[in-house]
Structure 1
Amino acid sequence: MTKMIVLGDSIMWGVTGFDSQHPRANPTIPAHIGTLLGWTVDNQAISGTRWADVDNKDNFLEQVAKFNFANYDVALMGYGINDFDDAPHSSPTQITYAMNKGIAKIKSDNPNIHLYIELPTPSFVYGSNDGAVNPSGYSQKQIYDTIKSEAQLLEVPAYDWRDNPLITYDNRAQTLGDGQIHPVNAVQQTMAERLANWIESHEQSTASNADNDLIDWSSLDQGQTTNSEGGSTAQTVTYTPIEVATINGPDSLNQAFNSNAALIINTICKIASEDASAVSWHAQTFATLGRELRNYIADTIATIKQVSGQTLGTTNTETSTGETVSVEAMEAPTSLMIGDVITTLNNDFKGAETALNAILATL
């Protein structure tokens, strides 16, 4: 039977509120997932914990150190709300460091383990999640986007409740037992059902890919296989083209940039059969469009070009209009006008997309 370990905070533990009307969820989210999937579940969630190792609690890294993940088939991780809510507040850099280090340890214990991340549900400790900012100046959106971007870079599926919210500022009195953080029992059951369906879809996809790996590739002769009448039929492995996100304005610049950078780095490494986790780049988010973000953009583009040059060499590709594009042609914006910065970045990423898709089409 599949065995899953769950690492997380009070919501995964089952807190529904802080009075006698809101006892521990029954069943808890992990237990309900286990029942729905027919799995054995080891719920190691601890209230008050977080991704970043910034206090004296059993946070993600301390938890990871306790277990040998070779004993599990699946790991579900659900942290983040305390990184945003509680002092000392976690920075995006601290979160990405912990995620990277901890997940690397899990994979070293068990390279075949299936990993899943559940993003936090909204917190209303500092007001509406649409504009909530904690005392350290980090917005809820910034913290949650950091977790999502790092999960993408590490190639770990992440479930984002913001895509189809169960809990909103308007319904918080009905959906949260304390009106701020902890979902009531009924909402936690629905959360478990959604997560179980999402995990199951990924497990089925993984099983399908595993079946494809059973093909005897040695029987293929340069992409040809002989049919029953002595002829030959082409066998083609299709690689899905990548599609970068368009930066539509200042509000989406940081998030879209992170998403595109992770996609480009992962694609380069896939083409070169290299491990993307070995690349020394981590998604970062910034509260303002200032010098720190500008420097981060320049450093990221330099990293992308370095990774591409070291693994792929030249990626020059001619477009249908006769223009030559490549990953190595990417350049950090030099203008101080935000419109010019966005235009340059969109052109950079579109050129890299075209060049990498041309390579993928030949594989």
Structure 2
Amino acid sequence: MQIEKLLNLVDAMKRIQIQSPLEYVVEELRNACQGGDWEDKLPGARILAKRLGVSAPTVLKALNQLVKEGVLEHPGPRKAFHITTAGSPNKPRPPRKKPKTIIILTHQNINELVASTRSILELLTTKLIAKGWHVRKVVVNFIHAKRPHRSWDNVIAAEKGTPIVAVYGRPLIAKWALERGLKILFFGGERGTHEVPVIGVKSHRLAKQAMNLLTEAGHSKIVLPLNDRPDLFKKRLSEITREAIESMGAQYHAPYHNPESPYFAKDVISGLMQRLIPDQLPTAMVFLDWKELITAHCYLAQHGVRVPEEVSLILLNNQVEAEWFEPGLCRFEFPQATMAQAVIQWLETGQAMDQTIDIPATYLRGQTIAPPRLSAIGS
């Protein structure tokens, strides 16, 4: 049985490697036309591109290829492609089994997500394809939306019964899905008051562990930036930071210990470091994101601030490049295989809509934590 599973996985990987994006789109569109997904004409190239997770030029090449095959005809510029008699579902053809479809929904292109999330999604996609699933990757910026956009219905285009995995989910996308009777799972994120299952590593647990490590070393001047994060998430981490600071007999000051910004950008962290150096330099900093940590570390190095002798650092995540960090970075490793399997289990068995699966991360001890410098104690 194990050998059979392995062979299926190898076969799936071969299909991924052999089929180019253009070939994949041609096949998907041809099947959709002949399967009766549209009555007579196709949606625009941009909409199709978002549905299929490819670029609009690739879709246009595929459409033109189908014109050459006689499946489609193109009346002219700025006009929709029409399905011909050859591409019509009325033409007799051998029956084909429609694969199960799952939508992986992200707020930005997958190659722009943090490395740990990308790796888990790649592993999940490979496992799903091996099990016969058709994986659609759709990008919709639900993170910063103030209300559901009318375009979401067309872009996401989820049929009833099609499960959606929303990466870094937010209450707004949960509301949108539940109002349409769609099955949705959050892969990380905050669901608010909505009853949707969440699978992920809880950052507030990692923050709690990081704060304990730092206070045990004697730190009270700890900074944990909360840039561009959900309100409930910021509230939890602020409470954890406050508890740690006050346990050391120091006074918690939110703008200092948990600085916030509505934006996630290099300039935001650079501006924060500029305010902290030299008069308010913390003795320890905790970061949620690798990019934030790297920007801060570069700024510290430019100003001759040593790690960990003067500032201790912890990352509540992991990154492949972290292995090159000197001194060895204190960080947390996510169990990728366990997280991918949890999503598959949800798909195959179904779970209570309000269930939260909290998967523990592993602390990787490095050399970026040290006791605070003597001049900072009590300051």
More strand by share: 2
TM-score interval for Structure 1 and Structure 2 normalised by the shorter chain: under 0.3
With structure 1 as the length reference, what TM-score do the two structures score?
0.25
TM-score, reference length from structure 2: 0.24
